[in-house]
Amino acid sequence: MLGMNGHKLDEAPLAAGVAKSYEIVPAQIEHVYELAETMREADRKEIADLGIGVKKALYRAFRNSILCRVALVDARVAAMWGLAVGLRDGVSPLSDLGVPWLHTSAAVEALPIAFMREAKSELAAMKALRPRLESFVAADYAQAVKFLRILGFTVEKPEPVGLDKAMFSRFHMGFDS
């Protein structure tokens, strides 16, 4: 059976607490509100370190993205991601630069292999839309930094960002240097 966007629904072993299925769907505003309530603490901290509220950050990313999708695990929002083109200076619908973003709830941990497979597929879709991808990740969010490196991003050394000088690392793909 196929979910929206043509992605196959995966079946996992039927054990207690293990997800039975997932699907990838276009993001809707109600997904923003659900994820704002269920977001993993590390993702929540990353947003807070930028001085933005979780709901506001998700909404801004959702509204400024040319690609915005959600992974539902057993009908719960497990992850929401996109490719923004209007969140900061130098990035516009006319530029060749996109700002990838991803935020997750604990439900994403139910299907780690499927999540990695889908991440690679979604990254390919992003690269087809924008040849250069660039954003920032909280330097102390080790799980996210590792995930980005597995996907093939270059992750640079941490630098202080914002009023509170939280440490973030630029990550990128498609740049000569």
Domain ranges of the chain: 4-134
| pTM: predicted TM-score of the whole model, two decimal places | 0.86
What pLDDT, on the 0 to 100 scale, is given for residue 40?
A: 96
What pLDDT sits at residue 163?
75
Q: Which amino acid is at 50?
A: L
- For residue 65, what pLDDT is reported? 96
Beta strands in the chain (DSSP E): 22-26, 65-73, 76-84, 97-104, 132-138, 154-155, 159-161, 166-173
Predicted local distance difference test score (pLDDT) of residue 32: 98
Mean pLDDT, 10 residues at a time, the chain of 177 residues: 38 45 95 97 95 95 96 95 86 90 95 92 96 96 97 97 90 86
pLDDT at 21: 84
Residue 19's pLDDT is 53
CATH class of 4-134: alpha beta
Q: Which own/partner pairs from 152-161 qualify as long-range (CB within 8 Å, at least 24 positions apart)?
A: 152/123, 161/49, 161/50, 161/136
Tell me, what's the pLDDT at 18?
Answer: 56
Cα separation, 46 vs 54, in Å, equals: 9
